[in-house]
Amino acid sequence: MSDDLGLGFTPVPQKLNVAKDFSLSLNVPHYIIRREELVLEVNIINHLARDLEVILVLSESEAFEFILAKHGDISVVNAQTLILEGYGSATALFPIRPVVIGELQISVDAIAADCSESLVWNVLVKPEGVEQSFSETLFLELEPLTHNYSQSISISLPPHVVEDSQRANVVLVGMCALVFN
């Protein structure tokens, strides 16, 4: 393709090899429990024949906190520097503690001198404790030709409910009775 000459064709096929210099993967379970400590395992593979120095950065989030681990004089808990041998691999460990229930987005950036890679992964954070459910049945009998109806109900929660874990579901089932005279 040329700006001056337009589209051109060649009688001999050309080969084009495309590859990343390195790739990232994250070893995370399907779900994690809020306030439990978890070690995020970030794996990186060097696809080049030469050695690479790579800085891995785990993005900070209000949904989790870092568990500070001493690494000599280093005080940055969300970044690690790795030296990858040619065609080698390495693993970085980031200890965290999730503090919010719901979807947790984990974002990791890997930066080398002449290349970079990013990885974003979502994991479900469930509340601590054992899930329990309760149901209550309410029978409503409506007068014929009634178009508007409302009724208030109150829901009481058992004691010692885990914070932010309460849910309520309403299922409405309609039945129609035919009366013949």
Task: For 22-63, write each residue's pLDDT tens digit.
Answer: 999 999 999 999 999 999 999 999 999 999 999 999 999 999
- Kindly tell me the burial class for residue 57, based on how many C-beta atoms sit within 10 Å of its own C-beta (0-12, 13-18, 19 or more): middle
| Residue 152 in this model has a pLDDT that exceeds 80 | yes
Q: Which residue has the tokens 């280093």?
A: 74
Query: What average pLDDT does range 87-111 have in this prediction?
Result: 95
Residues 71, 67, 120: CA angle, nearest 5 degrees: 100
Q: How many helices (H) and strands (E) does the chain have?
A: 0, 9
Using a cut of 0.75, tell me whether the model's pTM lies above it.
no
Quote the pLDDT of residue 75. 58
pLDDT of 26 reads 95
Taking residues 131-146, what's their average pLDDT?
78
Q: Are 116 and 20 in contact (CB under 8 A)?
A: no
Q: Band of the pLDDT at 161, cuts 50, 70, 90? A: confident
Structure tokens at 118: 């990013």
pLDDT average, residue stretch 109-124? 94
In this predicted structure, the answer to whether residue 67 has a pLDDT above a threshold of 70 is yes
Class of the 22-126 domain?
mainly beta
Chain mean pLDDT for the chain: 86
Residue ranges per structural domain of the chain? 22-126
List, in order, residues 6 or more apart from 105 with CB less than 8 Å away. Answer: 61, 63, 120, 121, 122
